[in-house]
Amino acid sequence: MENFLTDIAELLEEDEIREEDVLEDFEEWDSLTILSIIAYTNEKYGIQISTAEINKSKTVGGLKKIITGKM
């Protein structure tokens, strides 16, 4: 998970993000970003995650936790 924060920041078009940041507060947050995250986790970690799970994770750290739990 070492590049997790920089990869997610890139998908969100942000320079830097922190684990406590709330996902839906990001300017770029929409269904396309969610799909990009689904595709990214599939490619990078070989796991499948749903829109509902991503929305429920609330924060960047929450997202990380869900992904780690599925690995």
Partner 1 sequence: MNLTFHDKKITGILTVLPSNIVKFEDEMDNYNFSKAKSLKLKLAMGYNTHRIVADNTTVSDLCLYGLQYLVEKKYLKKDDIDALILVTQSPDYFMPPTSNVIQGKLGLKHDTICLDINQGCAGFEVGLFQSFMLLEQEEINKVVLLNADILSKKVSKRDRNSNPLIGDAASISIVEKSDKPNVINCNVKMNGDAYDVLMIPAGGFKLPSSPKTSEMKEDDAGNFRSLDNLIMKGDEVFNFVQREVPPMIDSLLEKAKRKREDVDYFMFHQPNKFMLKKLAEKMNVPYEKMPNNVVENYGNASGASIPTAICHNISEEIRNEDMLLCFAGFGVGLTWSSILMEVGHLDFCEFVEFKKEGE
Chain residues binding partner 1 by CB under 8 A are 28, 30-32, 34-36, 38-39, 42-43, 48-51, 55
How many CA atoms lie within 13 Å of 6's alpha carbon, on the beta-carbon side?
A: 3
Residue count of the chain: 71
To partner 1, the closest distance from the beta carbon of 61 in angstroms equals: 21
Query: Residue 56, SS3?
Result: helix
To partner 1, the closest distance from the beta carbon of 38 in angstroms equals: 6
Cβ proximity to partner 1: between 20 and 31 the closer is 31
